[in-house]
Structure 1
Amino acid sequence: MTGTKRIWGTLDPFFEGGPVMGRTVANVGFLDALLQADPFDEYHFFLPGKRTLGPLRGHLEQTAPGMLEDGRVRLMLREALPGRLADTAYHCFHLSDCIASQPFLSRMRNRLSERIFPVTGPIHSLSYAAYPKAFLQHLWPGATRRDAIVCTSTAGRIAVEGFFGQLRAGFGLSEATHPGPRLERIPLAVDADAYVPGQAEKDGPTRILVFGRISHHSKMDLVPLVRALHRLILDGLDPKSVELVLAGWAERETHVLDTLTHLADNAGVPLSVVLRPDEARKRELFRQADVFVSIADNPQETFGITLVEAGAFGLPVVASDYDGYRDIVTHEETGLLVPTMGLAETPDVDLDAPLNFDNQYHLALAQTTAVDIPALAGALGRLVRDPGLRAAMGAAGRDRVRRLFHWPEVIGQYTALWDALWEEPVEAGPLRDLPHPLAPEYGRIFGHYPARTLDDGVKLSIGRTGEAFYRNRDFPNVYAGLKDAIDLEAVRRLAFFARNPVDSASLIRKVSDVAPHLNVTRIKNHILWALKQDILQITE
């Protein structure tokens, strides 16, 4: 096993393309910042298929061409993972989320890797009804203190602790026997150097920008914002002195935008809508704005990267006092937090959610989270009427982003975490053959399907295709998905050793002696594949 290099690994591309949403923006930002900081000798990506490999390669050819050319960034398909884990000393693996694969990657590491390296993954949205199953995956005895879930906000960490508490109570699990991974808090970030604030003094009305998903069931209900502006107009604010700008990705249905447009028109609130802006248009909108507003009321929100972007652009932020927003906005310093009120218990939604679509229960939860409209109106009024306050809060916000939410700073926190996790003591022996209860053991469950199974007493000899293959007169087909699983040289050895009938146990020993990189299970797989190709045959 090679161990002189510091090698970072992942199962995910991080670069996904598609709509400009918080998770995708955060993932590609992390990738670009990691490679720019370059704290490792190599970076290995094990991707599920060529559909993800191609777009990632295209992105890296633009952002890190030299690292691709010199082989420091390596793009591989997922089937190469077992072999790499067995012969490469990885420093850590980091995934783009903690939901899908993290516990099963830890299991494969426990089985195959000489070193128990750290495995980490961050949280994003946490509120899907299927997620208790995802977090149950983490509660198994094979989780180590070198495994960590990275919580991007304090509120998110409390929510993950809530999942683990509910699962342990419901399934009778103790923290001693089912500890789960560590929980660490590292925020999302932006490249603050890439965001240039607009002019300190702008002509025209005070522009109030909302940027993000324009969705009442997966982001925030914007009706309270229009109502708050209506209050200000009724109290004497000149409607020509403000402009509300809604920008981002709208739902396919247009009734939400229609509702907001009609409501704003009836209230006398000037409104502009910009749908699906590209990155250049997005930056232009932020530079033209005077105040940024986000009144999230939906548990799908966990961090709030648009608030960090607004701070980087030097904008004061008016935000709901909700979830991860509290970590980002310092009340009365970088912006104003507006009180919210919700429910401590949700028995009806708890019953309905596992049986319904995500948007239905998210809407029900959001509509029972109230943003204080008088307080929202007061916060907006203060900033609309006081340019000096806007400038002071915007400057403080940009300074806070550079200190706490700038990618170079955050990548430094990640590298420190990966190094620190190695300090945790781990006893590898008991982990090696530990099964995961949520990973099917296909042989035990389905081993009765075939008429017989491969055991030590099976007699084998070379088949007719095997004779031709051994003499290079026939070349068996290896499907694309098996190119890293089938070693044709080992199959050739099988054919050689089976020129005379041999029992399977003896055949396995002979092959093991000349192909030590193959364990017994993999040799058995090769024997069965060779039987399937007529390279070997059963001799009764």
Structure 2
Amino acid sequence: MSNAAIYFHPDGYDTTGAQLMGRHSAGESFLRGYLRHAQADQVHLFNASTQPPLHFKPLLDRIEPHARAIRWLARTSRHHLADPGCLYLPQPTLAPEAWIRRPLGRNRYSLCGITHTTATHRATDLLADMMTAPVEAWDALICTSDAVRSSVHVLLEQTREHLRAQLGASRFPTPEITTIPLGVNASDFTPSAEQRSAWRERLDIPQDAVVALYLGRFHAAGKMNPATMALALEAAAGSTGRPIYWIVAGWASTDDKTAAFHRQVQAFCPSIHYRPVDGRPPETRFSIWSAADFFISFSENVQETFGLTPIEAMAAGLPSVVTDWDGYRDTVRHGIDGFRIATTAPRPGLGRDLAYRFANDWVPYEGYLAAAAQTTGVDHAAAVTAIAALVTNPDLRRRMGQAAARRAQEHFDWAAIIPRYQALWSELAARRAAAAPEASDLAVIVDNPRRLDPFQLFATYPTGLLTSETLVRLAPGMTQAAARTRLTAELSSLGGWALPGSSEVDLILGHLVEHEQAKVGDLTPLFAVHRQGIVERGLLWLVKFAVIELVSPPEVTPGG
């Protein structure tokens, strides 16, 4: 199986922050699964942060204590990615990463990204930019559901149509776009009779009561509107004449918003025995499932692409009542693991004003999401029927829960998903190895036209340019000791990372002492090849601070 370097930044994997998002949970789950199940002797982590690897040991130990060797690759050493052969990105950033790779060689390694939400402007721009970036056939974008894969294809085809009409373009990058679902570490959600009893006692829930559970971030506009769940539970309680307890485990961005969320939801289900829980602590996120009899989640928001909580519920042996919506459709089998409730959206063309207002910043992102979600219908009657069936039929709950647990273990445990990642990376490696030589008209393009060398982009700003024929000499009265004092001043050393080092400066000055003056083209060969460009531009740093001078400075044009 092929390996990959995992792009590592703590923001992608740390679930202990106050603003816990779905991508954090998904990242933590993936990394734990990869460390457990990857068929590789060595784990490669690409350190995308500015912190040293030792700084992340507590985080990695918390995610998954591991015995295998970890090789850290520094953020400044992308050329070493040729060893694992692939860089796995926990986001769809193929386009900018392809430009970063370009000067190193288009086939030096593969890129493999993944979609999470694809509704933000940043996400859609990243996807569209793949059509003009040096993305290759040995790169891949993993879509977490068939629905999001379809939407990505729509976006890319619209981008191609624009480029055809506007520019006459006929050749476009063709990265692999495939569907691989998110996974879970199923054993982390194994139900426990002790936890069930403890949670019910803590929440004042009778041991024989029927309990529904919702777990997730609280954001009616940006996540899902909980009123549809509340209305369905309220109606099901009325139709069955049975008491229903509802554990609502989650979090909003502030305590006040959390309290407001609970207050607003309860107004829609006054007869439901409502039990709020902070869903952020790890001990809660993994144990609260044991308290429930079924899971409920009515997503109808375009920010969703997969939905991790339904498969967490499945791993916990819970049947689910979820909407028939993007990734939920790929996980819960209707009538087998639970029930999927039909959703209906407006026809294409009726949301152009929403997109236009969002594009113009007339409405915020959450306002755009809310407007789309509020006009997506959920089949209330079907939802009530499904909930009532689970409330009144313990055998149905048991059968569906058992089927769900088997499906989670066999299809969605990382033990089953990680090999699919590695098989994809193997396929990309084979394509890369078999690639034909690059077309000559593309081979000359190694720089990102949006991130050009400043001395190319702004070449007309100065009076003139330094060339290999330019003559330089020591400034009058300058000595090496005086130069050292001047160049180590705070104002002189700004941007020092891009300048010659002290030993290199000494060599330049020593040469000029010996030869009085020298051409730039005679000075630079005194240094290692990879330092020659730095030394050449650094000569103008020495000119700037009057350590050396140009024998014939460029002349300023009269007038102007």
Change (3 A) 1:61 1:336: closer
- Read off the aligned partner of 2:324 and give its amino acid letter: D
SS of aligned partner of 2:90: coil
After alignment, is 372-381 or 139-148 more displaced? 139-148
Candidates 226, 233, 239, aligned match of 2:237 = 233
- Read off the aligned partner of 2:92 and give its amino acid letter: C
Q: TM-score, normalised by structure 2?
A: 0.83
Measured in 1, the distance between the counterparts of 2:486 and 2:448 equals 44
Contact 1:209 1:247 in 2 (8 A): yes
Structure 1 position 11, deviation (Å): 5.9
Q: Where do 5+ consecutive residues of structure 1 fail to align?
A: none
What's the counterpart of residue 530 of structure 2? 517
Structure 1 position 411, deviation (Å): 1.7
Measured in 2, the distance between the counterparts of 1:438 and 1:127 equals 24
What's the counterpart of residue 421 of structure 1? 428
What's the counterpart of residue 312 of structure 1? 315
Measured in 2, the distance between the counterparts of 1:178 and 1:213 equals 38
Measured in 1, the distance between the counterparts of 2:482 and 2:3 equals 41
Contact 2:248 2:277 in 1 (8 A): yes
What's the counterpart of residue 224 of structure 1? 228
Measured in 2, the distance between the counterparts of 1:65 and 1:489 equals 45
What's the counterpart of residue 349 of structure 1? 354
User: In the comparison of the two structures, how many residue pairs are matched?
Assistant: 519
Q: Confirm or deny that 1:196 pairs with 2:190.
A: yes
Matching of residues 201-350 of structure 1 within 5 Å: 203-238=207-242, 240=243, 242-252=244-254, 253=257, 254-265=259-270, 268-345=271-348, 346-350=351-355
Per-residue displacement from partner, 1:191-225 (whole Å, max 9, x unpaired)? Answer: 11222124499823111000001221111111111
Contact 1:15 1:55 in 2 (8 A): no
Structure 1 position 40, deviation (Å): 5.3
Change (3 A) 1:92 1:269: same
Structure 1 position 468, deviation (Å): 3.6
Change (3 A) 1:372 1:6: closer
Matching of residues 147-166 of structure 1 within 5 Å: 147-166=139-158
Measured in 2, the distance between the counterparts of 1:125 and 1:474 equals 49
Structure 1 position 431, deviation (Å): 4.1
Change (3 A) 1:534 1:15: farther
Quick check: which has more Rg, 1 or 2?
A: 2
Structure 1 position 190, deviation (Å): 1.2
What's the counterpart of residue 48 of structure 2? 47
SS of aligned partner of 1:456: coil
Q: Where do 5+ consecutive residues of structure 2 fail to align?
A: 198-206, 553-560
Once the two structures are aligned, what percentage of the paired residues are identical?
24
Change (3 A) 1:530 1:213: same
Measured in 2, the distance between the counterparts of 1:378 and 1:468 equals 88
Change (3 A) 1:376 1:521: farther
Contact 1:293 1:318 in 2 (8 A): yes
Per-residue displacement from partner, 1:347-389 (whole Å, max 9, x unpaired)? Answer: 2212211222111010000101111110000111111111111
Measured in 2, the distance between the counterparts of 1:466 and 1:46 equals 43
Contact 1:316 1:393 in 2 (8 A): yes
- Read off the aligned partner of 1:375 and give its amino acid letter: A
Measured in 2, the distance between the counterparts of 1:399 and 1:166 equals 40
SS of aligned partner of 1:207: strand
Contact 1:86 1:112 in 2 (8 A): no
- Read off the aligned partner of 2:469 and give its amino acid letter: G
Change (3 A) 1:206 1:63: closer
Change (3 A) 1:479 1:92: farther
Contact 1:43 1:74 in 2 (8 A): yes
Measured in 2, the distance between the counterparts of 1:378 and 1:467 equals 88
SS of aligned partner of 1:216: coil
Contact 2:336 2:403 in 1 (8 A): yes
- Read off the aligned partner of 1:25 and give its amino acid letter: S
Change (3 A) 1:55 1:292: farther
Matching of residues 471-482 of structure 1 within 5 Å: none
Measured in 2, the distance between the counterparts of 1:276 and 1:353 equals 31
Measured in 1, the distance between the counterparts of 2:187 and 2:7 equals 27
Measured in 2, the distance between the counterparts of 1:194 and 1:11 equals 23
SS of aligned partner of 1:109: helix
Q: Confirm or deny that 1:456 pairs with 2:468.
A: yes
Candidates 383, 387, 390, aligned match of 1:380 = 387
Structure 1 position 343, deviation (Å): 1.4
What's the counterpart of residue 96 of structure 1? 90
Candidates 10, 13, 33, aligned match of 2:7 = 10
Q: TM-score, normalised by structure 1?
A: 0.86
